[in-house]
């Protein structure tokens, strides 16, 4: 064999002995974690939009049902009043002018006859007035419900479209979870982060109740669209915690931003909501000392984290 042949053979044998990963090294845990975070930033806004539309749809369907309950008895009242008016008119029509004359002759008193007609007219006028008020109220509710029904149909379409995207989202979540398991192993869930006490600062009142409720959820799994008590997404956690304090919040981070008073970072205190990213698609519960409790993403349970791990947009204080 020529020298060139020996060199080629030795090169081939040596290449065969090298690990398959030498040319393409497997990503590190930190690299996988960064990739998951990048993907999640794209997924979470879709999740929050689904939460918004789905909850608006449920609220409007409830309003429509309440309006329907108001319309039904009003329609019945209007129908009954119209029947009474029809009955009065029918009786007068059936008796006719001849009967009026006969009544005059038999009674011998024009006063009695005029009084009877006056009473009859008043009864009809009263029925007309009553039915007019009832029908006005009925038509007002019916008009409101018609507009609401149109909005519901629009939201149903949006809900269906977002639900269709849900399948794609779930597929992406599954892929991210596989990446996570390849980094941490199937028995790990990322582990809750402990950074001192939770809450970091004691506070009483409703805010104290909200903070303690949020802290008590540490370790529970992230499930998108969930608002407790067994699992949460980011806005579901803050909604649940403040709900226990008697304060209602929407299950949508960007809407929660509008539901509280503006608070500067310097004046932030435990219980305030802290928001992230320019489109406000993530929210956490501030617990003091630069720390929050939040539901991060799939594969990571509710946990404590430093707020500076994500771009902070601002703080709001529910009331």
Residues that are catalytic: 234, 282, 294
Q: Which residues pair with 285 in a beta bridge?
A: 273, 293
Q: Are strands 312-318 and 303-306 parallel, antiparallel or unpaired?
A: unpaired
Cis amide prior to 247 (ω within 30 degrees): no
| Pair of tokens at residue 84 | 């009474």
- How far is it, in rounded angstroms, from Cα 51 to Cα 281? 11
Alpha-carbon Rg for the chain in angstroms: 36
Sign of CA dihedral 187, 190, 195, 198: negative
- H/E stretch holding 35 reads helix 29-107
- Strands across the sheet with 312-318, in order? 260-263, 312-318, 273-276, 282-288, 291-294, 303-306
Among the listed residues 235, 236, 231, the one whose alpha carbon sits nearest the alpha carbon of residue 253? 235
Among the listed residues 73, 75, 60, the one whose alpha carbon sits nearest the alpha carbon of residue 145? 60
- Contact (CB, 8 A) for 315 and 272: yes
| Pair of tokens at residue 278 | 């320019």
Cis amide prior to 18 (ω within 30 degrees): no
Q: Which residues pair with 306 in a beta bridge?
A: 291
CB burial class (10 A; 0-12, 13-18, 19+) of residue 217?
buried
Helix 110-184 with 29-107: angle, nearest 10 deg? 170
């Amino acid at each position: 064999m020529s020298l060139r042949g020996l060199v080629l053979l030795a090169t081939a044998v040596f290449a065969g002995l090298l690990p398959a990963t030498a040319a393409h090294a497997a990503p590190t845990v930190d690299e996988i974690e960064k990739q998951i975070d990048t993907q999640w930033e794209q997924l979470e806004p879709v999740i929050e939009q689904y939460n918004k539309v789905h909850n608006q749809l449920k609220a409007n369907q409830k309003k429509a049902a309440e309006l329907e309950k108001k319309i039904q008895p009003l329609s019945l009242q209007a129908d009954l009043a119209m029947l009474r008016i029809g009955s009065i008119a029918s009786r007068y029509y059936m008796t006719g002018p001849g009967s009026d004359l006969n009544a005059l002759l038999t009674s011998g008193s024009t006063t009695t006859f005029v009084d009877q007609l006056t009473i009859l007219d008043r009864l009809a006028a009263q029925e007309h007035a009553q039915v007019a008020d009832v029908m006005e109220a009925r038509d007002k509710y019916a008009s409101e419900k018609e507009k609401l029904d149109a909005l519901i149909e629009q939201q149903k379409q949006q809900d269906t479209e977002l639900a269709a995207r849900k399948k794609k989202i779930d597929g992406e979540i599954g892929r991210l979870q596989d990446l996570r398991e390849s980094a941490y192993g199937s028995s790990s869930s990322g582990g809750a982060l402990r950074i001192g006490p939770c809450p970091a600062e004691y506070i009483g009142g409703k805010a104290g109740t909200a903070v303690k409720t949020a802290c008590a959820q540490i370790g529970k799994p992230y499930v998108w669209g969930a608002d407790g008590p067994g699992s949460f997404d980011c806005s579901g956690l803050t909604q649940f915690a403040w709900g226990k304090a008697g304060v209602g919040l929407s299950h949508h981070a960007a809407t929660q931003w509008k539901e509280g008073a503006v608070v500067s970072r310097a004046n932030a205190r435990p219980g305030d909501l802290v928001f992230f990213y320019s489109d406000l698609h993530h929210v956490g519960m501030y617990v003091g000392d630069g720390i929050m409790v939040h539901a991060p993403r799939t594969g990571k349970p509710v946990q404590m984290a430093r707020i500076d791990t994500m771009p902070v947009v601002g703080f709001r204080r529910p009331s």
